Chain A
Amino acid sequence: MKRSASINIERMVKWMPRFVLAPIAAAVLSACGDATPEPEKFLSNVDDCSGMPSRQAVTQCEASYYKAVAKAEKELPRFTSLEECEKIYGTCGAPTTQQGQTQNGTSNNGNGFLVPAMAGYIAAQMVDDLGDGFRDRSHYHRELERQRRDLERQRRDLERQKRDREYSQSYGAGTTAKNNGYQQKPKVAPPPAKPKQPAKTESRGGWGSSAANKNSWGSSSKGSGWGG
């Protein structure tokens, strides 16, 4: 066979907040059995954890919510322009921080960045986190479990491969020396020095001027990128 043996198709589905939001939130909330606020309200504000059936569940919900927000802050792409963000992700806004989001849509982290709508992301993370208490028999949750098992298996494979390579004299077919003087054994990059945290950026925008100049020459198709 000359093609990829298998691709996890569900993993290739791009995260779409509107698609994810309803089933995840509904599953989470329906497990509680109480009358619940609308999913969008539930996930946009940690106060909606108060809808949980017990004090312990409220505490778990709040802890999970803050954990999901922290993870979102770290992983979601950031934009300085609303237009650029919405062009790619559809719905965007100020990031939901641990301290909450301001009414006028600007973040209170002081940086003015924008991110894709976080509600669906937070919902998915919370279900991941609170799985045992909120798991149901839906297809979506079975799929999440399968993906978690796949991920765990891949992590174990990666660890094993790393150990094999570290004990081996060579790196194997992918990276050993070829002819023409190309690296006899590629040098492993040392772990990066611990930089001052955070770094003090003194300038920005030193890359990208060539692309901007070419766009201004009226090249007909450069919405399609700089690859070749």
Chain B
Amino acid sequence: MFREACAERKDWKAQAEKFGFKFHTMYGDRYWDESAHYRFTLSQIEEGIENPTAEIHQMCLHAVSVVVQSDEWMRRFAIPEAQWAFIRESWERGDQSLYSRLDLAYDGSGPAKLYENNADTPTSLYETGFWQWLWLEQQVDAGVLSRSADQFNSLQDKLVNRFRELAVLCPERVLHFACCKDTEEDRGTVQYLEDCAKEAGIETKFVFIEDIGMDAEHQFTDLDDQVITWMFKLYPWEFMFKEEYAQHLGKQDIRWVEPPWKSIISNKALLPLLWKLYPDHPNLLPAYYEDELDQVPEHMALVKKPFFSREGANISFTDAKGVPTGEEGTDGGYGAEGFIYQARHALPVFNGNHTLVGSWLIDDMPAGIALREDTVAITQDMSRFLPHIIM
């Protein structure tokens, strides 16, 4: 696995505008960074990332089946009791998943290690599925990259096909897409998904999360007072479980993407459970709950993570007893539900950049990777996105 400097396309910003990729630069800082790319061998991709991704997903599904059958585990995961039936029904009914993204530490040689599973609201979808794909095509055409260069990225193909499958399971329903106001990145991601759904022949409609209403029968409605019966939401379940309409969840005839049971996987309480179910698995890091710190091997450096944080917020480093060592992520106001402690396993560093592999799944199929790098050890929402090739 190498990091290689690369000539940038002279017109990439104009192209980003043309294709609606508005968040390529955030607050004046680069987000999309094509000044370099990463190079993998096919073996590194298939054996180092793709196969472990598929296996980890199956392990996570097993963990869900353990949690939904146990009130004790539902409580341990800080899932509000009022939502237990809602989540269990979605699992037993077989509500389908669209996508997930595993965050892995991988340096090209040792086994990839799972940091966390973004199973509810993973992002960087557009940059992965289309934008870095386009970069490769154009750089090959320009002679900057070899014609034999490939990329681990069949995300868009798989997304469209998956939408076709979901449409068979949700016939005669309009698929609403929803995200919060005031976020260009989320709007762009949702637009991309909407485009993929349309390509699959699905009728779609957009509504902002904050604009969703409810009628007397507790059906959710959009701004045209149309009842919502199938919804993709780029908004976390753990937020929704605490909000005003939470008490009415489950009363509607609605299919959700992602389904409610995915909230078990996106919860970092999953990580100690995985370690209990699959101890010493090569792709897992040891992980413990706060009341299990006495089980941590002496001298094991730990990373303390809130159950529900995102993009590196409120993550901190501690010693084996949970005492902070001083390094922390940004404050996003997370942590009220509790923390887990995961063995510290540093990201690989390339030219001073700490690099994280985001490994996508569409349903249960590995579909491609997104590389993020930063000059600091904790990957965050401002960390840059770099493309990759397989040679």
A residues sitting closer than 8 Å to B (CB atoms) are: 1-5, 7, 9, 11-14, 16, 77-78, 80-81, 84, 87-88, 111, 113, 154-155, 158, 161-162, 165-166, 171-172, 174-175, 178-189, 191-193, 195, 198-215, 217, 219-228
How many residues of B are counted as interface, with CB atoms below 8 angstroms from the partner's CB atoms? 111
**Contacts known (A3-B133, A227-B123); A189 close to B164, Cβ less than 8 A:** no
The CA-CA distance from A80 to B172 in the complex, in Å, is 28
Set A81, A111, A201, A226: member contacting B183, Cβ < 8 A? A226
Residues of A within 8 A of B184 (CB): 87-88, 223
* Residue from A16, A186, A202, A207 having most chain B Cβ neighbours under 10 A: A207
B157 pairs with A206, CB closer than 8 A: no
A188 pairs with B169, CB closer than 8 A: yes
Residues of B within 8 A of A81 (CB): 181
At the interface, yes or no: B48 with Cβ under 8 Å from chain A? no
B27 pairs with A154, CB closer than 8 A: no
**Contacts known (A175-B363, A226-B180, A226-B183); A210 close to B215, Cβ less than 8 A:** no
At the interface, yes or no: B201 with Cβ under 8 Å from chain A? yes
Residues of B within 8 A of A214 (CB): 332-333
Given contact pairs A180-B64, A228-B236, a sample of 7 additional A-B residue pairs in the complex whose CB atoms are under 8 Å apart? A113-B223, A171-B165, A180-B61, A210-B242, A217-B331, A224-B23, A224-B382
Q: How far apart are B41's CB and chain A's nearest CB, in angstroms?
A: 12
Residues of A within 8 A of B226 (CB): 198-199
At the interface, yes or no: B199 with Cβ under 8 Å from chain A? yes
| A-B pairs with beta carbons under 8 Å apart, 21 shown | A2-B154, A3-B154, A13-B20, A77-B206, A87-B184, A88-B22, A171-B168, A179-B58, A191-B172, A192-B229, A193-B253, A200-B216, A201-B225, A204-B212, A207-B210, A214-B333, A219-B332, A221-B26, A223-B183, A223-B184, A228-B311
Residues of A within 8 A of B164 (CB): 158, 161
Residues of A within 8 A of B195 (CB): 11-12
Kindly supply a per-residue 1/0 record for chain B positions 352-376, scoring 1 wherever the CB is within 8 Å of any chain A CB and 0 otherwise: 0000000000011100100000000
Kindly supply a per-residue 1/0 record for chain B positions 213-235, scoring 1 wherever the CB is within 8 Å of any chain A CB and 0 otherwise: 11110010101111101100011
B residues sitting closer than 8 Å to A (CB atoms) are: 18-20, 22-23, 26-27, 42, 45, 58, 61-62, 64-65, 91-96, 118, 120-124, 129-130, 133-134, 136, 150-157, 161-162, 164-165, 167-173, 179-187, 189, 191, 195, 199-201, 206, 209-216, 219, 221, 223-227, 229-230, 234-236, 239-240, 242-245, 248, 253, 255, 266, 310-311, 313, 330-333, 363-365, 368, 380-382, 390
**Contacts known (A2-B45, A225-B179); A182 close to B93, Cβ less than 8 A:** no
A227 pairs with B234, CB closer than 8 A: yes
A9 pairs with B381, CB closer than 8 A: no
**Interface majority SS (helix, strand, loop, mixed), chain A:** loop
**Contacts known (A154-B199, A219-B332); A192 close to B253, Cβ less than 8 A:** yes
Set B162, B186, B235: member contacting A174, Cβ < 8 A? B162
Q: How far apart are B380's CB and chain A's nearest CB, in angstroms?
A: 7
Instruction: Give the 3 A-B CB pairs with smallest separation, nearest first.
Output: A183-B94, A227-B123, A14-B20
A192 pairs with B180, CB closer than 8 A: no
Residues of B within 8 A of A158 (CB): 164, 167, 200-201
Set B118, B169, B215, B382: member contacting A186, Cβ < 8 A? B169
A180 pairs with B173, CB closer than 8 A: no
Residues of B within 8 A of A225 (CB): 123, 179-180, 183, 185-186, 189, 234, 381
A182 pairs with B94, CB closer than 8 A: yes
B214 pairs with A202, CB closer than 8 A: yes
A210 pairs with B94, CB closer than 8 A: no
Residue of A nearest to B171 (CB): A191
Q: How far apart are B271's CB and chain A's nearest CB, in angstroms?
A: 14
B199 pairs with A3, CB closer than 8 A: no
B221 pairs with A4, CB closer than 8 A: no
The CA-CA distance from A204 to B185 in the complex, in Å, is 24
Residues of A within 8 A of B230 (CB): 189
B227 pairs with A207, CB closer than 8 A: no
A189 pairs with B169, CB closer than 8 A: yes
Set B170, B181, B236, B253: member contacting A84, Cβ < 8 A? B181
The CA-CA distance from A116 to B182 in the complex, in Å, is 16
A2 pairs with B363, CB closer than 8 A: no
B214 pairs with A224, CB closer than 8 A: no
B333 pairs with A88, CB closer than 8 A: no
B133 pairs with A4, CB closer than 8 A: yes
Residue of B nearest to A76 (CB): B206
A180 pairs with B58, CB closer than 8 A: yes
Residues of B within 8 A of A174 (CB): 161-162, 165, 363, 365
Residues of B within 8 A of A9 (CB): 134
B330 pairs with A220, CB closer than 8 A: yes
**Contacts known (A174-B165, A191-B173, A223-B184); A210 close to B27, Cβ less than 8 A:** no
Q: How far apart are B24's CB and chain A's nearest CB, in angstroms?
A: 12
The CA-CA distance from A160 to B223 in the complex, in Å, is 35
B182 pairs with A223, CB closer than 8 A: yes
A206 pairs with B199, CB closer than 8 A: no
Q: How far apart are B231's CB and chain A's nearest CB, in angstroms?
A: 11
Q: How far apart are A163's CB and chain B's nearest CB, in angstroms?
A: 10
Set B58, B171, B227: member contacting A189, Cβ < 8 A? B171
The CA-CA distance from A136 to B244 in the complex, in Å, is 55
Residues of A within 8 A of B179 (CB): 225-226
A182 pairs with B219, CB closer than 8 A: no
